[in-house]
Structure 1
Amino acid sequence: MFKVTPNPPLTEPTIIPDPASPYECPGSKRFNEAAERALDYHLGPLSAHIMAAPYKPNRLYMANPKSGNEALLVDASETLGSASVMLSDFAALLDGTHRKTLLGIAQVVMLGELAVNQVLDNLVPTE
Structure 2
Amino acid sequence: MIKETPNPPAADDVSPYESPDSKKLNDAADRALNHYLNPSALKSPVARKPSTMFFVSPDMMDEDLLAHACESLASASVMTSNFAGYLEGPHRHTAMAIQQIVMLAELAVNRMLDNFELPKTSPHS
Q: If the length of structure 1 is used for normalisation, what is the TM-score? A: 0.61
The answer to whether residue 43 in structure 2 is matched with residue 89 in structure 1 is: no
Aligned to 1:47: 44
Aligned to 1:10: 8
Q: How far apart, in 1, do the equivalents of 2:103 and 2:56 lie?
A: 22
2:27 maps to amino acid: E
Distance 1:100 1:56, change over 3 A: same
SS in 1 for 2:44: helix
Unaligned stretches of 5+ in structure 1?
14-27
Provide the identity percentage.
Answer: 45
SS in 1 for 2:55: coil
Q: CA deviation at 1:61?
A: 2.3
Q: CA deviation at 1:118?
A: 1.0
Distance 1:6 1:68, change over 3 A: farther
Alignment RMSD = 3.5
1:67 maps to amino acid: M
Counterparts of 1:1-127 in structure 2, within 5 Å, are 7-10=5-8, 31-35=25-29, 47=44, 50=46, 56-123=49-116
1:92 maps to amino acid: G
Q: How far apart, in 1, do the equivalents of 2:88 and 2:117 lie?
A: 41
Q: If the length of structure 2 is used for normalisation, what is the TM-score? A: 0.62
Q: Residue by residue, what CA displacement relative to the aligned partner does 1:6-43 show, whole Å, maximum 9, x if unpaired? A: 52133679xxxxxxxxxxxxxx756523246668xx99
Q: CA deviation at 1:111?
A: 0.5
Aligned positions, number: 100
